[in-house]
């Protein structure tokens, strides 16, 4: 059982703690409380919870996870853990200079993991030039976008928006809607 971090109760190792604060991003509210992750086991648990959420997404289009957070918030680490949980055997690095990388997967109805790092984009047109709209149309794609605020119209309204916040060297606050 995930226990609120402010409850005073001891929580089991490897389980993220709830902060009790509602998640708010870009004017949207979510009923899911933010989670605190303090170690790799908790990161994995949060990634598994996020993937369970993604299984409920519309199977007629690509599922998109938009990772919001400052430098050092843990966006790339979370993307790597998600890829690992999806069975990606390759080393997943942030595709900062390539903009996107694809990996074959077999998860639910998804057959391809697409990792996008939009940090260096000067405009969303650069994604258009890479044919990114085709990736969004393929319902077999599970897409993770770092720095989605730079991807503009390529972040669908139905994307799962994940907020990552640096708390200290070992702790991150993670929430999604």
Render pLDDT for 74-89 as a digit per residue (tens, 0 to 9).
Answer: 999 999 999 999 999 9
Give me the pLDDT at residue 18, please. 58
Report d(CA 170, CA 86) in Å as an integer.
24
Phi first, then psi, for residue 57 (nearest 5°) are: -75, 165
Q: Residues 132, 119, 25, 65: is their CA dihedral positive or negative?
A: positive
Ranges 12-16, 19-23, 62-66, 96-100, most confident: 62-66
CB atoms within 10 A of CB 59: 12
Domains of the chain: 5-176 (3.40.50.300)
- Sequence-ordered list of residues with C-beta below 8 angstroms from that of 36, at least 6 positions apart, any chain: 5, 16, 17, 18, 19, 42, 167, 171, 172, 173, 174
pTM recorded for the entire structure = 0.84
Report d(CA 16, CA 7) in Å as an integer.
13
Q: For 80-114, what is each residue's pLDDT tens digit?
A: 999 999 999 998 988 878 899 999 999 999 999 99
Q: What is the mean pLDDT of residues 64-75?
A: 95
Contact 112, 140 (CB under 8 A): yes
CB atoms within 10 A of CB 159: 21
């Amino acid at each position: 059982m995930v226990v609120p971090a402010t409850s005073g109760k001891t929580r089991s190792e490897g389980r993220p703690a709830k902060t009790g604060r509602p998640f708010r991003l870009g004017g949207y509210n979510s009923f899911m409380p933010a989670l605190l992750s303090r170690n790799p086991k908790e990161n994995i648990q949060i990634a598994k919870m996020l993937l369970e959420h993604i299984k409920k997404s519309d199977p007629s289009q690509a599922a998109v996870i938009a990772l919001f957070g400052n430098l050092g918030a843990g966006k790339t680490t979370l993307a790597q853990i998600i890829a690992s949980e999806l069975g990606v055997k390759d080393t997943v690095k942030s595709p900062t200079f390539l903009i996107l990388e694809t990996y074959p997967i077999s998860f639910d109805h998804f057959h391809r993991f697409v990792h996008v790092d939009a940090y260096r984009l000067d405009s969303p047109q650069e994604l258009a030039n890479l044919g990114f709209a085709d990736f969004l149309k393929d319902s077999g794609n599970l897409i993770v976008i770092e720095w989605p605020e730079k991807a503009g119209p390529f972040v669908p309204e139905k994307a799962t928006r994940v907020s990552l916040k640096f708390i200290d060297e070992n702790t991150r606050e993670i929430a999604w809607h």
